[in-house]
Structure 1
Amino acid sequence: MKIDEIDIRQGTANTPQRSHGNCLPYVGVPFGMNYFSVQTNGAAGAWFFQPDSPRFEGIRLTHQPSPWIGDYNHLLLTAIQWDDATQKPDLAGNYRPTEATFNAHHLALFDDHFNVQTDLIPTAYGAALNYDFQQLELAHHGVAIQLPDEGRFEFTATGLKLAVSDYHGGEDQNLTMFFELSIPNFDAENSGYYDAQNHWHTATNGTGKPLTLLLATTAATVACQLATSYVSAEQATLNLQRLQTSTSATLKNESADAWNDYLGRISVRDHHPAVVQTFYTCLYRLFLFPQRCYELDANQQPVHYDTMAKTVKTGRLYTNNGFWDTSKTVYSLFSILAPELLPKFLRGFLTSYQETGFLPRWLAPDERGMMPGNLVDSVIAEAAQKGLATELMPALLAAMQDSDSKSAISERYGRQGSADYDKFGYIPADNYSESVNWTQDYSYSDYCIGQVAQTLDQPAVAEKYWQLSKRYLNLLDPATGFLRPKTSDGKFKPNFVPDRWGTDYTEGSAWQNSYSAFHDIDGLIAAMGGKDRFDAQLTALCNAKPTYHVGGYEMVIHEMSELAAVDYGQLAISNQPSFHLPYLFDYSGHPEKTQVTVKQLRKLFNASTTGFPGDEDNGSMAGWFIFACLGFYPVCPADAEYALGIPAFDQVTLHLADHDLTLTTANNHEHNNFVQSLCVDGEPFDAVTISHQQLMTSARLETRLGLVPNH
C-alpha cells in the first residue's frame, strides 16, 4: 500500500474525557522536525482538531506529541480575504472534511468562506504552500499568520522573517523557532499586524504577544515556501533556499518516496481489506516519532540547539518521544524493519545525556520528566543484544550506569528515590507515589544494564545488575498474586483493593501493573507458586469485570473510561502496562489463550477516526497492532526474542536488508482462533518464543490455524 492510499485521520476523534488515539493528522516527512495539521478549534487547547468539524481556522505548524504534553513553538497559517484591515476580519473558514485530502505527504482542502483552495506539501524543515483564490471578492487577499505567544517579525522584499518563542516549562524559557516565508507578489503596503488589543499596525516589523500578521499579495495563485530552524534566522534562510531549488511536484514526490520507502518494507496479501488498511495506517504512525531536532549547516553537518547551555552545538538530537510508551514496541519494530535508524537515534539520545548529565525519559523538546523509570535503557539493551550501534555501546553503558546511579537532581532528572531504593530494595510507598511501577521499571533497567555489559564482555558488571534486577520481587504478595506497595517499615500497605487506581500504580491498578517483570517472567511465575497459579491469575484478570475505583486520581480519568467501555476484563489494552499481558499465557503453558486473546483484541483497532482503544502515544499502540498482525511480540525487548501469537494475514513479506522473510497463514478464517502448527524454513517449530537472530535469518514461517486448540 502506498502513502496516498492512507487517510491520516485515524484516531483523531477525541476529547479530554475519552481517547480514541489522541492523535493528530500529522502531515510531514518521516521523523520531520515539524508537522502540519488542520486546526478546527484552537479554543479547545490541545484538542484543536476534530475530524468531523467543518470549521477551518487554518493549518497549524505543530510540535505537539501528545495532548498531555501540549504544543510548543507553533503558529497558524490561513489564506483569507479582507476589505478594511483596521477592523480585524474573522479569520475562520469552512471546509468539507469528506472532500479534503489528508495524506501524510499532501494536505488539500477548499475553504468556501474565502473561496480558496489550499495545498500543502511538507519537507523535513518546512513546506510548500499553494493557495488558489478562485474568486476574489474583497479588496485584499493573502496569508494570515497567528502567533499565539511571544513573537517578533520583519517584512522582507519577498515575504517574512519571524521568530516564535512559546515554550513553557523547559530548560530555556525563551526557546525560539525561526521562521521564514516567501510569498510571490508580496504587497507590503497593504500588509501589517494586529497587536494583543487587536489594533492594526502597518509597520514592517514588530514584536508582541500574541500577534496576528496579514501578508497581502497581488496574485490570485500564491505559491509560498516556508522553512524553520531552532538554530538561527540564518539557518532558516538556508533551509528555505534548499527547499526553493525544487518544484512543489518534486517535493511532493520526494515526500511520498520517503514514506513509501518505509511502507514498502512490508508487503501484505490478504482477504481482509479493512484489516490491511488498518495495518498500513498504523505503519504510517510508526514512522512519525522521534522527531529530528537537528539541522544541516552549510557544510551539511548536523547542528542543534542545546537548551541547557543555550547555545548551538554540533551533532544529532531527537525529541518528542516518551520511552515508557515507545520502548515496548516502536524500537523493536525499527530493529526489524529499519535497523539503520537505531544508530542515529541512539547517537541523539547520547547527545541528550552529554548535555544534561542524564539519559532522556520524555523529550518534548527537552526533558519533561514524565512517567516512571528510565526505559531508554530498554532501547539501548535491545540494540546491544541485536548487534546494532555496537560502536556506541561503551559510551551508552557508561551513560546508563551514571544516569541510574546518581541521585535525582529534580523530578525531571535521575532516579527518583534512588537512595531509598538501594536501602530497601523497593521504592517505599509512604515517601513516593506510583511506587510499584517505579520499582518494576528500575528493576528492568538494571537488567538492561546487565544485558549491555554482557555484550561488552563485562561479566562481573552484568551479573551485578542482573541480581539487582530481582528487587521487584520484594513487592510481590504471594497470597494475592499482586505486586503491592510497601512502606518503609517493610510492611504492605493495608486495605488493599486490586482495582484501585493511582497512588501506588501508574494509570491503572494492581491488575494491570503487577506483571511488568518483562525480564524475569519465569522468576515471577516461580515466586507466585508455579505455572498453574500464574495461569489462573491471568485468566482471572481477563475474565474479571472491567471495574475500577478512582483511588488516588479522585476522578474518572480517560483510561478508566476506556477500560470500562469494552468487556475485556481487566486487560486494558488501551494503555501500555497491558500490552504484554495477553502474551504471558505463552509462559504459563497455555499459548492457545494468547492466540485467542490477541485475535479478539485486534478487533478494537481500525483505520477510522476512532481507530484506537486508547492513547496511541508516538507509535506505541500502532506498533502493538502491527506485532499482533505479524504473529509475535517482544515481551522483553532487552532479551531480543519474541513471544509467539497468532498472525492476521494470508501472506506477509518482510523485505529485510539482505533477504525476504515470508510469513504465510493457512486456514486463515474468522472462526479459526488457534495455531495448529508452525514451521520455520520447513521444520516444525514447537517453542513459544523465537529469537531475533533466528527470525532475521529465516526465509519462511508457515502457520496453520484451526478451530480448536491442539491441547
Structure 2
Amino acid sequence: MKIDEIDIRQGTANTPQRSHGNCLPYVGVPFGMNYFSVQTNGADGAWFFQPASPRFEGIRLTHQPSPWIGDYSHLLLTAVQWADPDKKPDLVGNYRPNEATFNAHHLALFDDHFNVQTDLVPTAYGAALNYDFQQLELAHHGIAIQLPDDGQFEFTATGVKMSVSDYHGGEDPNLAMAFELAIPNFDVVNSGFYDADNQWHAATKGAGKQLTLLLATTVAQVDCRLATSYLNAAQATRNLQRLQTPTFNMLLNESADLWNNYLGRITVEDHHPATVKTFYTCLYRLFLFPQRCYELDETEQPIHYDTIAKTAKPGLLYTNNGFWDTSKTVYSLFSILAPELLPKFLRGFLTSYQETGFLPRWLAPDERGMMPGNLVDSVIAESAKKGLAADLMPELLAAMQDSDSKSATGERYGRQGSADYDKFGYIPADKYKESVNWTQDYSYSDYCIGQVADTLAQPKVAEKYWQLSKRYLNLLDPETGFLRPKNSDGNFKPNFVPDRWGTDYTEGSAWQNSYSAFHDISGLMTALGGKDRFNAQLTELCNTKPTYHVGGYEMVIHEMSELAAVDYGQLAISNQPSFHLPYLFDFAGHPEKTQVAVKQLRKLFNASATGFPGDEDNGSMAGWFIFACLGFYPVCPADAEYALGIPAFDQVTLHLAGHDLQLTTTNNHDHNNFVQSTSIDGEPLTDFTISHAKLMTSTHIATRLGLVPNN
C-alpha cells in the first residue's frame, strides 16, 4: 500500500474522558522536526482536532507528541480575506472533512468561507503551501498567522521572520523556534498585526503575547515556503533557501518517496482488505517518532540546540518519545524493518546523556520525567543483543551504569528513590508512589545493563546486574499471585484490593502490573509455584470481570473507561502494561491461549477515527498491532527473541537487508483461531520462541491454522 492510499485520521476522535488513540493526523515526513495538522477548535486545548467537525481554524504546525504532554513551538496558518483591518475579522473557516485529503505527504482541503483551496506538502524542516483563492470578494486577501504565548515578527521584502516561545517548564523556559515564511507578491502596505486586545497595528514588526498577523498578497494563487529552526533566524533562512528551488510537485514526490521507502519494506497479500488497511495505517504511525531535533549547518553537518547550555552544538538529537511506551514495540520493529535507524537514534540519546548527565526517559523536547523506570535501557540492550550500533556500546554501557547508579536529580532525571531501592531491594510504598512499577522497571533495567555488558565480554559486570534484576521478587506475594506494594518496614501494605488503581501501580491495578518481569518469566513462574499456577493466574486475569476501584486517582480516568468498555477481562490491551500479557500463555505451556487471545484482541483495531482501543503513544500501540498480525512478539526485547502468536495474513514479505523473508499462512479463515503447525525453511518449529538472528536469516516461515488446538 502506498502513502497516498492511507488516511491518517486513524485514532483521532478523542476526548479527555475517552481515548480512541489520542492521535493527531500528522502531516510530515518520517521522523520530521515538525508536523502539521488541521485545527478545528483550539479552545479544546490539546484536543484541538476532531475528525468529524467541519470547523477549520487553520493548519497548525505542531510538536505535540501526546495530549498529556501538550504542544510547544507551534503556530497556526490560515488563508483568509478581509475588508477593514480596523475591526478584526472572523478568521474561522469551514470545510468538508469527507472531501479533504489527509495523507501523510499531502494535506488538501477547500475552505468555503474564504473560497480558498489549501494544499500543504511537508518537508523535514518546513513545508510548501499553495493557496488558491477561487473567488476574491473583499478588499484584501492573504495569510493569517496566529502566534501563541510570546511571539515576535518582522516583515521582509519577501515575507516574514517570526519566533515563538511557548514552552514553559523545560530546561530553557525561553526556548524559541524561529520561522520564516516566503510569500509571492507580498503586500507590506496592507499587512500588519493584532495584539492580544485585538487592536490593529499597521506595523512591519512587533512583539507580544497572542499576536495575529495578517499578511496581504496581490495574487490569487499563492505559492509559499515555510521553514523553521530551533537554533536561530539565520538557520531558519538557511532551511528556507533549501526549499526555494524544488517545485511544489517535486517536494510532493520527495515526501511520498520517503514514506513509500518505509511502507514498501513489507508487502501484504490477503483476503481481508480492512485488516490490511489497518496494518498499513499503523505502519505509518510507526515511523513518526522519535522526531529529529537537529538540523544541518552550512556544511550539511548535524547541529542542534542544547537546552541545558542554551547554545547550539554539533551532533544528532531526537525528541518526542516516551520509552515506557515505545521500548515495548517500536524499536523492536525498527530493528527488523529499518535497522539502519538504530545507530542514529542511539547516538542522539547519547547526546541527551552528555548534556544532562542522564539517559532520557521522556523527551519533549527535553526531559519531562514522565512515567516510571529508565526503559531506554531496553532499547540499548536490544540493539546490543542484535548486533546493532556495536561501536557505541562501550559508551552506552557506561552511560547506563552512570544514569542508573547515581542519585536522582529532581523528579526528572535518574532513578527516583535509588538509595532506598538499593537498601530495601524494592521501592518502598510508604515513601514513593507507583512503587510496584518502579521496582519492576528498575529490575528490568538492571537486566538490560547485564545484557550489554555480556555482549562486551564483561562477565562479572553482567552477572552482577543479572543478580540485581531479581529484586522485583521482593514484592511477590505467592498467596495472592500478585506483586504487592511493600512498606519500609518490610511488610506488605494492608487492605490489598487487586483491582484498585493508582497509588502503587501505574495506570492500572495489580492485575495489569504484576507480570512485567519481561526478563524473568521463568523465575516469576517458579516463585508462583510453577506453570500450572501461572496459567491459572493468567486465565483468571482474562476471564475476570473488568472492574476497577478508582483508588489513588480518585476519579474515573480514561484508561479505566477503556478497560471496562471492551470487556476483555482484566486484559487491558488499551494500555502498555498489558501488551505482553496474552503472550505469557506461551511460557505457561499453553500457546493455544496466546493464539486465541491475540486473534480476538486484533478485532479492537481498525483504520477509522476510533481505530485504537486506547492511547496509541508514539507508535507503540500501532507496533503492537503490527506484531500481532505478523505472528510474533518481543516479550523481552533485551533477549532479542520473539514469542510466537498467530499470523493474520495469507502472505507477508519482509524485504530485509539482503534478502526477502516470506511469512505464509494456510487455512487462514476467520473461524480458525489456532496454529496447527509452523516451519522455518522447511524445518518444523516446536519451540514457542524464535530468535532475532534466526528470523533475520530465514527465508520462509510457514504456518497452518486450524479449528481446534493441536495439543
Counterparts of 1:164-313 in structure 2, within 5 Å, are 164-313=164-313
Partner of 2:378: 378
Partner of 2:612: 612
Partner of 1:454: 454
Separation of aligned partners in 2, 1:190 and 1:618: 43
Q: Which amino acid aligns with 2:190?
A: N
RMSD: 0.3
Q: Secondary structure at the match of 1:461?
A: helix
Is 1:435 aligned to 2:442, yes or no?
Answer: no
Partner of 2:595: 595
Deviations along 1:24-79, whole A, 9 cap, x unmatched?
A: 00000000000000000000000000000000000000000000000000000000
Is 1:574 aligned to 2:574, yes or no?
Answer: yes
Partner of 2:341: 341
Partner of 1:540: 540
Q: Secondary structure at the match of 2:441?
A: helix
Q: Which amino acid aligns with 1:208?
A: G
Separation of aligned partners in 2, 1:156 and 1:202: 14
* Cα distance, 1:411 vs structure 2: 0.1
* Cα distance, 1:567 vs structure 2: 1.3
Q: Secondary structure at the match of 1:210?
A: strand
Deviations along 1:287-312, whole A, 9 cap, x unmatched?
A: 00000000000000000000000000
Separation of aligned partners in 2, 1:405 and 1:244: 50
Is 1:61 aligned to 2:98, yes or no?
Answer: no
Partner of 1:649: 649
Separation of aligned partners in 1, 2:243 and 2:288: 21
Separation of aligned partners in 1, 2:8 and 2:234: 33
Q: Secondary structure at the match of 1:107?
A: strand
* Cα distance, 1:465 vs structure 2: 0.1
Q: Which amino acid aligns with 2:372?
A: P
* Cα distance, 1:148 vs structure 2: 1.1
* Cα distance, 1:409 vs structure 2: 1.1
Separation of aligned partners in 2, 1:686 and 1:567: 33
Deviations along 1:208-235, whole A, 9 cap, x unmatched?
A: 0010000000000000000000011000
Partner of 2:669: 669
Q: Which amino acid aligns with 1:87?
A: K
Deviations along 1:280-338, whole A, 9 cap, x unmatched?
A: 00000000000000000000000000000000000000000000000000000000000
Partner of 1:405: 405
Separation of aligned partners in 2, 1:472 and 1:276: 40
Counterparts of 1:518-537 in structure 2, within 5 Å, are 518-537=518-537
Q: Which amino acid aligns with 2:690?
A: I
Query: How many residue pairs align between the two structures?
Result: 711
Separation of aligned partners in 2, 1:239 and 1:655: 33
Q: Which amino acid aligns with 1:677?
A: S
Separation of aligned partners in 2, 1:350 and 1:177: 23
Deviations along 1:112-159, whole A, 9 cap, x unmatched?
A: 000000000000000000000000000000000000110110000000
Separation of aligned partners in 2, 1:673 and 1:567: 19
Q: Secondary structure at the match of 1:492?
A: coil
Q: What residue ranges of structure 1 are gaps of 5+ in the alignment?
A: none
Q: Secondary structure at the match of 1:433?
A: coil
Q: Secondary structure at the match of 1:626?
A: helix
Separation of aligned partners in 1, 2:245 and 2:384: 41
Deviations along 1:529-570, whole A, 9 cap, x unmatched?
A: 000000000000000000000000000000000000011000
Partner of 2:89: 89
* Cα distance, 1:351 vs structure 2: 0.1
* Cα distance, 1:656 vs structure 2: 0.1
Q: Which amino acid aligns with 2:297?
A: D
Q: Which amino acid aligns with 1:438?
A: W
Separation of aligned partners in 2, 1:266 and 1:196: 50
Counterparts of 1:152-167 in structure 2, within 5 Å, are 152-167=152-167
Q: TM-score, normalised by structure 1?
A: 1.00
Separation of aligned partners in 2, 1:227 and 1:165: 16
Q: Which amino acid aligns with 2:240?
A: L
Partner of 1:332: 332
Partner of 1:358: 358
Counterparts of 1:623-642 in structure 2, within 5 Å, are 623-642=623-642
Q: TM-score, normalised by structure 2?
A: 1.00
Q: Secondary structure at the match of 1:465?
A: helix
Separation of aligned partners in 2, 1:168 and 1:589: 51
Separation of aligned partners in 2, 1:607 and 1:228: 31
Q: Which amino acid aligns with 1:351?
A: T
Separation of aligned partners in 1, 2:118 and 2:255: 18
Q: Secondary structure at the match of 1:10?
A: coil
Counterparts of 1:9-88 in structure 2, within 5 Å, are 9-88=9-88
* Cα distance, 1:691 vs structure 2: 0.2
Deviations along 1:162-204, whole A, 9 cap, x unmatched?
A: 0111101100001010000000000000000001111000110
* Cα distance, 1:638 vs structure 2: 0.1
Q: Percent identity?
A: 86
Q: Which amino acid aligns with 1:117?
A: Q
Separation of aligned partners in 2, 1:410 and 1:372: 14
Separation of aligned partners in 1, 2:450 and 2:86: 67
Is 1:126 aligned to 2:142, yes or no?
Answer: no
Q: Secondary structure at the match of 2:407?
A: coil
4+ residue segments displaced more than 4 Å: none
Q: Secondary structure at the match of 2:261?
A: helix
Q: Which amino acid aligns with 1:667?
A: N
Separation of aligned partners in 2, 1:250 and 1:75: 25
* Cα distance, 1:631 vs structure 2: 0.1
Deviations along 1:380-437, whole A, 9 cap, x unmatched?
A: 0000000000000000000000000000011000100000000000000000000000
Separation of aligned partners in 1, 2:686 and 2:243: 54
Counterparts of 1:676-695 in structure 2, within 5 Å, are 676-695=676-695
Partner of 1:512: 512
Separation of aligned partners in 1, 2:524 and 2:647: 28
Q: Secondary structure at the match of 1:216?
A: strand
Separation of aligned partners in 2, 1:27 and 1:369: 27
Deviations along 1:98-125, whole A, 9 cap, x unmatched?
A: 0000000000000000000000000000
Q: Which amino acid aligns with 1:247?
A: T
Deviations along 1:239-280, whole A, 9 cap, x unmatched?
A: 000011100000000000000000000000000000000000
